[in-house]
Structure 1
């Protein structure tokens, strides 16, 4: 008869609950959160082992205890059940255990793996477009988490275990983000030397408005950093718009920046424009109090570096103008033609709108040409033509019309008669004055006589 021996092994039941991974960097701050609980009596936080070094505790009455020994001095706080660690150092990374008791019941111990992230950018100084950028994001953990990078436009970049190497453009300037295990995000700023983005649409102004041609260096980049990249030349050029609406290829150099000594602008063909006073602040704008029709065209701001790299920004300027025919001074009853234009057809998303004087009875119009068969004195005043994109006014031009009342036939006859009467009265008055003067001269004439024995000198006064 065979005997069976049943050996019973005691079950090894672990008291550990769910484990979680948290990622942080040296010098950073992290909040370790236990599982959500409704009520508790005691909360204990330990390091390295379930029964390891006790870091902090808290009870339901608000009592707390914090480990102040090295390497935890001035690093730990326990505002609630969560453990907050600041100024993380390499020795603070590892496994943390949270034990929670609720009355006589002890909940499963919750473990959190605090993993060190190594994030770096090379080079650290600002880059010129076309230069190489290297980004690295790795985790010190046996199980490699998924890591990828997002560029400033939010696009995911192909990488090799968290390492990225790219040739930068001006669009790479900004915040790059390392995403770890779809949870942790680490932001890394990257600076790319460039000029302010050119407007997506033409820069619109009018003959009634100031003109500003924008160009600037990003505010986070200093002039000293620009110099360190080997700046060689900075200048403005203008390509005027021809009568056919095309841009001329004959460039006019407007200003050149003198880099020797204090920064100052050298005027070449300024066209009445003025550059920003202190280019060291990064502001390279051109301005004038009022725009002119001949300002239409392309303005190019250029920075050249000693390594051969060049930065350009082109701003296309359109000037809105009102033309009045026969002119701004009219008589009541004359025909008036007003034309509002930038010199070429407008894009489909832009339109014009006329704004008449308050006393004028003319209807509101949204066309480039406005015709009034017979103007009245109520039509005098300021007329505006606005260039709008939807409800947004991009710019507006203005003209002031002076309209004199029209004279009737009777008013003309009366005016001519009055002028003739005044002229006749002035003539009569002049004749009277002339005759009186002649009489007075006769009365004052001296009496002369001839002597019997005249002396050689002739006549003598008696």
Structure 2
């Protein structure tokens, strides 16, 4: 594993801890000694991690050689200093460092800087950290009857991940509800993805996508399709997941239908789940005034506005001053004949109520009269019976 070059340099290949020591070169009456210090840096899990994993670094130096006191500094993939926890050394030649929980953004080449004053050592040792994870938002908004696509982007190609893993996609309408599996997938060590549809709880499609993307489409969103869509992957018994919260919005009216002349209607804008603190619903009338604007309050899932005239209204879902969804509703006045029909129906209803009330009163009076007549007849019969008894005794 070594050779002496033409320039009298000694080259050692595949350096090992056992190669540490003092190397002496003798040339005539001259003697030159050089101390070689060898470090071996290892990282747990071969450098392959999932988010929230806690790596451990182990730095070894040759125990048969002079063991200096080392100062170790770590720099992450952004060249920022990382403060690891130095575990109790088992032996003087071994240093074990415990890092903080990893994030998907911690992917890249890290540097371990080893320093010693005596002997003077300044050595940088580079090592790779690969964190398999997702890149995607945590919330998505959709309108009823619209088409929505949910995507989870994995980073295994960017970080040159060389290990296979499996995963699945689950949907849960509410936190307390049961979880339903929609599909499962696996990715081979060569980066080939295979997906299998599992759920039939509602209609959805698995879209053809790149190996690093899990993508499903809901062609017609229903109000009860909202909930948590959780993509979970598993690697060597460890798990990581990414959840997209789907919030569905709809508009409706009470009563349903056109607005009769002189009547009132309530416009209702509603979302399927509570909104975050930086989001709200807002009704506003097109070409209206400030009086025609109404916002939802914190933790409200709907906002209502009462209207008495025709016009076009828009309901906006706003998050951080950005409109995420806008739905419009056109309030139309009912034709005149419908208004007359409604008035006639109201009058007819009132007349019917009056007639039924009169019939009830008349029936009650008749029943009362029959009862009184029967009572008088019973008294008369009793009177006649008493008189007849008295005549027989005489």
TM-score by length of 1: 0.48
Matches for 1:213-228 after TM superposition, within 5 Å: 213-220=150-157, 225-227=162-164
Match of 2:172 in 1: 239
Question: Of the candidates 286, 305, 324, which is equivalent to residue 371 of structure 1?
Answer: 305
Separation (CA, whole Å) in 2 of partners of 1:177 and 1:283: 31
Q: Distance in 1 between matches of 2:56 and 2:143?
A: 43
Q: After superposition, give the CA deviation of every residue in 1:352-376 in whole Å (9 maximum; x if it has no partner).
A: 2224324789622223423234122
Which structure: larger Rg?
A: 1
Contact 1:258 1:265 in 2 (8 A): no
Compared CA separation, residues 208 and 332, structure 1 to 2 (3 A)? farther
Q: Distance in 2 between matches of 1:137 and 1:406?
A: 89
Alignment correspondent of 1:171: 103
Q: Is the CA contact 1:234–1:257 (under 8 Å) kept in the aligned structure 2?
A: yes
Give 1:407's aligned residue.
336
Which aligned pairs between 1:254-293 and structure 2 lie closer than 5 A?
A: 254-257=182-185, 263-269=194-200, 271-278=202-209, 281-293=211-223
- What is the Cα deviation at residue 293 of structure 1? 1.1
Q: Is the 8 A contact 2:157 2:212 kept in 1?
A: no
Match of 1:134 in 2: 57
Find the aligned partners of 1:348 and 1:262 in 2 and give their Cα distance.
Answer: 38
Which secondary structure state, in structure 2, belongs to the residue aligned with residue 365 of structure 1? strand
Which residue of structure 2 lines up, in the alignment, with residue 429 of structure 1? none
After the TM superposition, which residues 44-59 of structure 1 pair with which residues of structure 2 at under 5 Å, given as runs? none
**Shift in Å at residue 284 of structure 1?**
1.1
Pairing 1:206–2:143 present: yes
| Alpha-carbon contact 1:134-1:166 (below 8 Å) kept | yes
Counterpart residue number, 2:72: 147
CA distance in 2 between counterparts of 1:369 and 1:387 reads 13
SS of residue matched to 2:178: coil
Equivalent residues of 2:254, 2:267 under 8 A apart: yes
- Report the CA distance shift for 1:399/1:351 in structure 2 as closer, same or farther (over 3 A): same
Q: 1:184 to 1:155 in 2, by over 3 A?
A: same
Task: Give the corresponding residue for 1:48.
Answer: none
Distance 1:193 1:392 in 2: 32
Question: Structure 1 stretches of 5 or more lacking a match?
Answer: 1-68, 72-115, 242-246, 413-462
- Compute the displacement of 1:204 (Å): 3.6
Shift of 1:237: 1.4
1:418-457 map, 5 Å = none
Please give the alpha-carbon distance, in whole angstroms, between the structure 2 residues aligned to 1:300 and 1:288. 15
Contact 1:325 1:336 in 2 (8 A): yes
Aligned to 1:41: none
Q: Which residue does the alignment assign to 2:278? A: 349
What is the alpha-carbon distance in structure 1 between the residues aligned to residue 160 and residue 74 of structure 2? 30
Contact 1:208/1:398 (CA < 8 Å) preserved in 2?
no
The question of whether the paired residues in 2 share the 8 Å contact of 1:320 and 1:397 is answered with no
Q: Deviations over 1:40-71 (max 9, x none)?
A: xxxxxxxxxxxxxxxxxxxxxxxxxxxxx989
In the other structure, the counterpart of 2:83 is 156
- Tell me, in whole angstroms, the C-alpha distance in 1 between the residues paired with 2:241 and 2:251: 33
Count of residue pairs the alignment pairs up: 284
Match of 2:131 in 1: 192
Residue 330 (structure 1) aligned with residue 276 (structure 2): no
Q: CA deviation at 1:292?
A: 2.4
Give the superposition deviation at 1:277: 1.5
CA distance in 2, matches of 1:298, 1:273: 15
Change (3 A) 1:264 1:347: closer
User: How far apart, CA to CA, are the structure 1 residues paired with 2:282 and 2:265?
Assistant: 17
Root mean square deviation, CA, Å: 4.8
Once the two structures are TM-superposed, the CA of residue 283 in structure 1 deviates from its matched residue by 0.6
Counterpart of 1:295 in structure 2 is 225
